[in-house]
């Protein structure tokens, strides 16, 4: 008799953003005249950089000629892109990464969710709270989360990030095995200092833990001294995997491309006591379950590292960060408490006193037709907050702030 993975039955009925989409669709159907502004999901709105478009056209033309056609590519990515990553994302920061430690993927979401495939199901999990839902949901699927008890998973250690601690998570008082960190943070838009990251690396080395470090928004860092990579911290290559994405950096949410760094120094024990190199294990997993990212998409990603591409991508990032500044200033002006929006394209907004996250989401949707994301959807510590994204069009951000200011008055 065929059975199912019972862990999937433990998942919440809907993925957070699917739930939001259903609520917005239902409201739109009931109020077709509503002019809805979407500042909830973190999807980009600016077109791809001209350098990227040029590279796509050239790669497509290559696929139309027998002399330059390409079929199956290397599962871990073409060397031209991995070399560009080494030379542009790491070498300028004094970080030595070998191109064989880089694995090109179809977006960071895939690898952050799939990396648990090569890790033991009995590993304990540690997350900051609030947190990007995929980190938890993928471990629920993998049988590591336990059961929901009073809104939290019984086998997951939560490190709250809130106003009281300045959104800086405290180290657990016990050993944990797999630790998820995302900085600049989604959803709070906050960052960790070098000193704080050093604490996490020291903790991981002490307990033989693995840091799963999501650096998807590192290109949005504006302040000096804020680390762009976990590998800026001494010893991190012995305890950390790092995930990167071109989705928010270069507008690849529709193209799907990113990369994961798995240092060869990452060695953990099997249950038989053998030393196992995670780089080799992840490569074996990818060769079995992933056929590689499309050649034309990888050529497009390579183009963002050209001088032209760098300039154009920076212009887009600056556009979104200007949106964040406009939103942050407008919200502060009306007396709301606002976090983030300085080193990340997200605004973490505290709801009015006594108003819950979903309640404020409903108010924004029905009163001023603005879509947000309820903070509690990211974890227990997110209650009492909503997330706004700066990825909208400039005129939409300005109009949303005008509506909100008039409504609150």
Task: CATH number for 53-306: choose from 3.40.50.300, 3.40.640.10, 3.40.190.10, 2.30.30.100.
Answer: 3.40.640.10
CATH 3.90.1150.10 corresponds to the domain 8-47+308-408: yes
pLDDT in tens, 177-231: 999 999 999 999 999 999 999 999 999 999 999 999 999 999 999 999 999 999 9
DSSP 222-233: -STT--S-GGGS
DSSP 209-270: -EEEEE-TTGGG--STT--S-GGGSTTGGGTEEEEEESHHHH-TTTT--EEEE--TT-EEE-
Beta strands in 122-186 (DSSP E): 125-129, 148-149, 152-153, 156-160, 178-182
Share of the chain above pLDDT 70, in %: 100
The residue extents of the domains of the chain are 8-47+308-408, 53-306
Residue whose entry in the numeric block shows the structure tokens 């949901």: 137
Q: Examine the pLDDT at 15 and tell me if it is beyond 80.
A: no
CB atoms closer than 10 angstroms to residue 29: 8
pLDDT score of 297 more than 80: yes
Which tops the pLDDT comparison, 1 or 42?
Answer: 1
φ, ψ of residue 103 to 5 degrees: the values are: -125, 115
Rounded CA gap, 196 and 193, in Å? 5
> What is the CB neighbour count within 10 angstroms for residue 222?
14
Of the candidates 373, 402, 392, 367, the residue with the CA atom closest to the CA atom of residue 34? 367
Angle at CA of residue 381, ends 187 and 205, nearest 5°: 75
**pLDDT tens readout for residues 50-86:** 999 999 999 999 999 999 999 999 999 999 999 999 9
Determine which helix (DSSP H) or strand (DSSP E) holds 315, and give its type and residue range: helix 307-333
Closest to 177 (Cα-Cα) out of 252, 234, 239, 223: 239
Cα gap 249→108, rounded to integer Å:
12
Q: How do beta strands 37-38 and 370-371 pair?
A: parallel
Q: Confirm if 345 and 217 have CB atoms less than 8 A apart.
A: yes
Residues 6+ apart with CB under 8 A from 116: 138, 139, 142, 144, 178
The values of phi and psi at residue 231, to 5°, are -75, 0
Neighbours of 385 (CB within 10 A): 27
Asked if omega into 297 is within 30° of 0 (cis), the reply is no
d(C-alpha 212, C-alpha 192), whole Å: 15
How many CB atoms lie under 10 A from the CB of residue 85?
Answer: 21
Task: Give every CB contact of residue 347 below 8 A, 6+ residues apart in sequence.
Answer: 189, 324, 327, 328, 331, 338, 339, 340, 341, 387, 388, 389, 390
pLDDT of 170 reads 96
How do residues 89-143 score in pLDDT, each as one tens digit?
999 999 999 999 999 999 999 999 999 999 999 999 999 999 999 999 999 999 9
Q: pTM for the full model?
A: 0.95
**Best CA proximity match to 401, nearest among 316, 310, 334, 320:** 334
Closest CA to 189 of 226, 157, 158, 152: 226
pLDDT for the residue 174: 97
Q: For the chain, give the mean pLDDT.
A: 95
Q: How confident is the model at residue 42 (pLDDT cuts 50, 70, 90)?
A: confident
Over residues 344-353, the pLDDT tens digits come to 999 999 999 9
pLDDT tens-digit map of 341-376: 999 999 999 999 999 999 999 999 999 999 999 999
Cα 129 to Cα 164: distance, rounded to the nearest angstrom: 13
pLDDT at 87: 98
In the predicted structure, residue 409 carries a pLDDT above the cut 80: no
Q: Do the Cβ atoms of 115 and 105 come closer than 8 Å?
A: no
């Amino acid at each position: 008799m065929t059975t199912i993975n019972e862990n999937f039955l433990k998942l919440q009925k809907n993925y957070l953003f699917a739930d939001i989409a259903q609520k917005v669709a239902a409201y739109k159907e009931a109020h077709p005249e509503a002019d809805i502004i979407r500042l909830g999901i973190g999807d980009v709105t600016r077109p791809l950089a001209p350098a990227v478009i040029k590279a796509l056209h050239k790669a497509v033309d290559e696929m139309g000629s027998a002399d330059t056609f390409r079929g199956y590519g290397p599962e871990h990515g073409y060397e031209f892109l991995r070399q560009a990553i080494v030379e542009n994302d790491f070498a300028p920061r004094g970080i030595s990464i070998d191109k064989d430690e880089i694995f090109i993927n179809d977006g960071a979401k895939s690898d952050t969710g799939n990396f648990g495939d090569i890790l033991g199901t009995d590993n304990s999990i540690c997350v900051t709270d609030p947190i990007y839902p995929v980190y938890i949901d993928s471990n629920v699927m993998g049988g590591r989360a336990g059961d929901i008890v009073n809104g939290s998973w019984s086998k997951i250690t939560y490190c709250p990030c809130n106003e009281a601690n300045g959104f800086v998570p405290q180290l657990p008082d016990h050993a944990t095995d797999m630790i998820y960190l995302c900085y600049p943070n989604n959803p709070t838009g906050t960052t960790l200092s070098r000193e704080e990251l050093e604490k996490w690396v020291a903790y991981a080395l002490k307990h033989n833990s693995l840091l799963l470090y999501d650096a998807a928004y590192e290109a949005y860092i504006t302040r000096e001294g804020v680390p762009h990579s976990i590998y800026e911290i001494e010893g991190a290559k012995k305890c950390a995997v790092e995930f990167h994405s071109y989705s928010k950096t270069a507008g690849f949410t529709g193209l799907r491309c990113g990369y994961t760094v798995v240092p060869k120094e990452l060695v953990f024990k099997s249950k038989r006591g053998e030393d196992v190199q995670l780089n080799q294990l992840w490569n074996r997993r990818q060769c079995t379950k992933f056929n590689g990212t499309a050649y034309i998409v990888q050529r497009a990603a390579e183009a963002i590292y050209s001088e032209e591409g760098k300039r154009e991508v920076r212009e887009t990032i600056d556009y979104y960060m200007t949106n964040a500044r406009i939103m942050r200033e407008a919200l502060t002006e009306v007396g709301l408490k606002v976090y983030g929006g300085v080193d990340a394209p997200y605004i973490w907004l505290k709801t009015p006193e006594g108003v819950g996250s979903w309640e404020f989401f409903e108010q924004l949707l029905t009163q001023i037709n603005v879509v947000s994301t309820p903070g509690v959807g990211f974890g227990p510590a997110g209650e009492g907050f909503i997330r706004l994204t700066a990825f909208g069009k400039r005129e939409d951000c300005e109009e949303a702030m005008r509506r909100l200011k008039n409504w609150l008055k």
